[in-house]
């Protein structure tokens, strides 16, 4: 059983066969895949092909599952619930609801207008970009399954805690008034989706998402290749080394202005882990990029006032930094 | 007829708008396709997933990119 598991990890998720294949092809045309330039080329070609294959199949499969959870349905499931149960459910639904940053604002308005508590809405909004099922599976190929599962658990805990805090402080007056006045439209009436329609939806999502994120993947892989072969080990150890207390906060600060899809951050994460940077530090960077992106904060400002926005940013930042430290402490224990 | 596309201007909204233009011609109707990108106005329709298609002030679908054929059928239905 364990052999099957590690075979799956090495050959399917890490695609070691592809790595060998690319290396063989480079050697065949006279490039040394272990040299500096050859190594960069090898990392780039192997990673781009790998991520696009995994990304494509994963988005297709998960979009099929997600077609069962349109936002209108999540809202109906959450309606009328209160307390910790509602927060946890919201955070979990956030991980399976189809979500693109361009729909986060209508979603926020739709939840609040329907009378969902602010805390529940924020629990959903925090977990949705943070814990993406497709990226978690890819992440498992880089940092292993125990750490990837721990990432999901901590992401959901962070969303629940953040939502609970925002709910407890009663920030309802910090939401722009027009949000409460919005009518509630219950999505598409009519017959439930057939399997063919779900498959068509999954294909549509695949084309849309890959069409949107491929430049980020290319840039991410290029940065990864740079880290992998060109940045001196001593520099990485000195700035982001495991023994440096500032590594985690620095990773968060570096991540905020970066606007990238979570898929674009994966190759950077892979290269950093390869250079021996702490897993918590790498995860903190990824979380900061996805959950605290500047463009989505600017959009959010249109529906909530500055105080609530600041509180949201503060809670998420502290949560990410804590997650980073916990992971850096935990991973050596998990690996032992 | 008045066709409105609700959405923040992402790729899907542009595709839907183009399909709606094609559908008008296909259905042999005269009308205008306009885009609504302001959040307050989108919220005023009660729509949660974008892009959404509004025909003569009625929300027809949300969160889906319909083909020109499908939109033409809705226009005539």
pLDDT at A148: 86
| pLDDT (tens digit per residue) in A258-306 | 776 777 888 888 888 888 888 889 989 988 887 787 877 888 888 899 9
Number of cross-chain residue pairs from A and B with Cβ atoms under 8 Å apart: 76
Side by side, which strands form the sheet with B2-6? B32-36, B2-6, B52-55, B58-62
pLDDT at A8: 73
Whether the predicted pLDDT of A3 surpasses 80: no
Total number of domains in chain B: 1
Strands B32-36 and B2-6: parallel
Contact of A75 with chain B, judged by CB distance below 8 Å, is answered with: yes
Asked whether the beta carbons of B27 and B72 are under 8 A apart, the reply is: yes
Asked whether the beta carbons of B55 and B6 are under 8 A apart, the reply is: no
| pLDDT (tens digit per residue) in A117-144 | 999 999 998 888 778 777 788 788 788 8
d(CA A129, CA A106): 15
Whether the predicted pLDDT of A336 surpasses 60: no
- Kindly determine whether residue B49 and residue A72, on different chains, have CB atoms separated by under 8 Å: yes
Whether the predicted pLDDT of A190 surpasses 50: no
| pLDDT (tens digit per residue) in B24-73 | 988 888 889 999 888 778 878 888 877 889 998 888 888 778 888 888 88
pLDDT at A334: 67
Instruction: Pick B10's closest partner by Cβ from A75, A102, A188.
Output: A102
Q: What is the mean pLDDT of residues A88-108?
A: 77
Residue B31's domain spans which residues? Answer: 2-76
pLDDT at A303: 87
| Site of tokens 């959950």 | A291
- Kindly determine whether residue A103 and residue B59, on different chains, have CB atoms separated by under 8 Å: no
Contacts by B39-42, CB closer than 8 A, 24 or more apart: B39/A105, B39/A106, B39/A109, B39/A299, B39/A302, B39/A303, B39/B8, B40/A178, B41/B6, B42/A106, B42/A109, B42/B6, B42/B7, B42/B8
pLDDT at A88: 93
Q: How far is B28 from chain A (nearest CA, A)?
A: 26
Total number of domains in chain A: 1
Residue A77's domain spans which residues? Answer: 2-335
pLDDT at A146: 83
Range with lowest mean pLDDT among A42-56, A108-122, A160-174, A251-265? A251-265
Confidence of residue A211 (pLDDT cuts 50, 70, 90): confident
B10 catalytic residue (yes or no): yes
pLDDT at A56: 86
Q: How far is A153 from chain B (nearest CA, A)?
A: 27
A176-185, A224-233, A313-322, B37-46: which is most confident:
A313-322
Search chain B and give the residue with CA nearest A109.
B43
- Kindly determine whether residue A75 and residue B48, on different chains, have CB atoms separated by under 8 Å: yes
Q: Does ipTM exceed 0.90? A: no
pLDDT at B37: 86
Residues of B with CB below 8 A from A182's CB? 43-44, 46
Q: How far is B29 from chain A (nearest CA, A)?
A: 24
- Kindly determine whether residue A106 and residue B43, on different chains, have CB atoms separated by under 8 Å: yes
Per the prediction, chain A carries an average pLDDT of 83
3-class SS letters over chain A? CHHHHHHHHHHHHCCHHHHHHHHHHHHHCCCCCCCHHHHHHHHHHHHHHHHHHHHHHHHHHHHHHHCCCCHHHHHHHHCCCCHHHHHHHHHHHHHHCCCCHHHHHHHHHHHHHCCCCHHHHHHHHHHHHHCCHHHHHHHHHHHCHHHHHHHHHHHHHHHHHHHHHHHHCCCHHHECHHHHHCCCCCCCCCCCCCHHHHHHHHHHHHHHHHHHHHHHHHHHHHHHHHHHHCCCHHHHHHHHCCCCCCHHHHHHHHHCCCCCCHHHHHHHHHHHHHCCCCHHHHHHHHHHHHHCCHHHHHHHCCCECHHHHHHHHHHHHHHHHHHHHHHHHHHHHHHC
Cis ω for the linkage preceding B51 (within 30 of 0): yes
Percent of chain A with pLDDT over 90: 13
pLDDT at A101: 58
CATH number of domain containing B20: 3.40.30.10
**H-helix or E-strand spanning residue B54:** strand B52-55
Whether the predicted pLDDT of A2 surpasses 70: no
Instruction: Pick A107's closest partner by Cβ from B48, B61, B64.
Output: B48
pLDDT at A89: 92
Whether the predicted pLDDT of A322 surpasses 60: yes
Whether the predicted pLDDT of A224 surpasses 50: yes
Largest CA distance in chain A: 67
């Amino acid at each position: 059983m364990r052999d099957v598991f590690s075979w799956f990890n090495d050959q399917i998720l890490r695609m070691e066969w592809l790595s060998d294949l690319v290396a063989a092809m480079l050697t065949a045309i006279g490039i040394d895949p272990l040299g500096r330039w050859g190594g960069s080329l090898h990392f780039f070609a192997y990673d781009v092909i790998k991520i696009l294959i995994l990304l494509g199949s994963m988005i297709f499969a998960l979009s099929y599952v997600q077609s069962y959870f349109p936002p209108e349905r999540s809202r109906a499931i959450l309606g009328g619930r209160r307390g910790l149960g509602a927060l946890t459910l919201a955070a979990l639904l956030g991980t399976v609801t189809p979500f693109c940053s361009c729909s986060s604002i209508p979603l926020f308005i739709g939840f609040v207008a329907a009378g969902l508590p602010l805390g529940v809405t924020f629990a959903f909004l925090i977990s949705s970009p943070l814990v993406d099922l497709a990226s978690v599976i890819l992440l498992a190929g880089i940092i292993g399954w125990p750490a990837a599962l721990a990432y999901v658990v901590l992401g959901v805990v962070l969303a629940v805690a953040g939502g609970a805090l925002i709910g407890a402080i009663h920030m309802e007056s910090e939401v722009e008034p027009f949000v409460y006045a919005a009518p509630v439209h219950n999505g598409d009436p009519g017959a439930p989706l057939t399997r063919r329609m779900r498959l068509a939806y999954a294909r549509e999502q695949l084309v849309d998402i890959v069409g949107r994120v491929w430049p980020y993947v290319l840039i991410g892989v290029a940065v990864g290749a740079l880290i992998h072969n060109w940045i001196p080990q001593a520099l990485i150890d000195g700035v982001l080394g495991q023994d440096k207390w500032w590594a985690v906060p620095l990773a968060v600060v570096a991540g905020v202005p970066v606007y990238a899809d979570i898929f674009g951050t994966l190759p950077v994460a892979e290269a950093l882990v390869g250079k021996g940077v702490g897993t918590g530090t790498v995860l903190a960077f990824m979380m900061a990029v996805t959950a605290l992106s500047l463009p989505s904060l600017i959009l959010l400002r249109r529906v909530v006032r500055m105080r609530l926005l600041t509180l949201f940013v503060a809670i998420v930042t502290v949560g990410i930094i804590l997650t980073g430290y916990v992971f850096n402490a935990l991973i050596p224990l998990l690996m032992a | 007829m008045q066709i409105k596309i609700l959405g923040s201007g992402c790729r899907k909204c542009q595709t839907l708008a183009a399909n709606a233009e094609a559908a008008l011609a296909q259905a042999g109707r005269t009308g205008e396709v306009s885009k609504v990108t302001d959040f307050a106005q989108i919220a005023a329709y009660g729509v949660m997933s974008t892009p959404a298609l509004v025909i003569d002030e009625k929300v027809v679908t949300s969160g889906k990119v319909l083909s020109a054929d499908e939109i033409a059928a809705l226009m005539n239905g």
